[in-house]
Amino acid sequence: MSRFWSEMARRTEPYVPGEQLNRMEIIKLNTNENPYPPAPGVTEAIRDAAENLRLYPSPTADSLREAIAETENLVPDQVFAANGSDEVLAFSFMAFFNPGKVIRFPDVSYSFYPVYSNLFGVPFEEVPLRADFTLDTEAFSEAEGGVILPNPNAPTGIYEPLDGIRSILEGNPDRVVIIDEAYIDFAGPSAAKLISEFDNLLVIRTTSKSRSLAGLRVGYALGQPELIEGLVRIKDSFNSYTTDRLAQAGAEAAFRNVDYFEETTGKIIAARDRSATHLAELGFTVLPSSANFLFCTHPEADAERLYTELKSRNILVRHFGKPRIKDYLRITVGTEEQMAKLFGALEDILNQN
Least separation in angstroms between residue 319's CB and ligand PLP is: 15
Distance CA 42, CA 27 (A): 24
Least separation in angstroms between residue 146's CB and ligand PLP is: 17
Distance CA 128, CA 151 (A): 15
Least separation in angstroms between residue 82's CB and ligand PLP is: 9
Least separation in angstroms between residue 193's CB and ligand PLP is: 20
**Residue 134: CB atoms within 10 Å:** 17
**Residue 164: CB atoms within 10 Å:** 17
Looking at beta carbons only, is 72 or 180 nearer to ligand PLP?
180
Least separation in angstroms between residue 153's CB and ligand PLP is: 8
Binding site for ligand PLP (CB under 6 A): 32, 84-86, 110, 150, 154, 180, 182, 206, 208, 214, 219
Looking at beta carbons only, is 6 or 22 nearer to ligand PLP?
22
**Residue 81: CB atoms within 10 Å:** 28
Based on C-alpha coordinates, what's the Rg of the chain? Answer: 20
Looking at beta carbons only, is 204 or 342 nearer to ligand PLP?
204
Looking at beta carbons only, is 113 or 298 nearer to ligand PLP?
113
Closest residue by Cα to residue 125 from 105, 148, 99: 105
Looking at beta carbons only, is 31 or 98 nearer to ligand PLP?
31
Query: CB-hemisphere CA count at 13 Å for 344?
Result: 10
Angle, CA of 255, 185 and 287, to the nearest 5°: 160
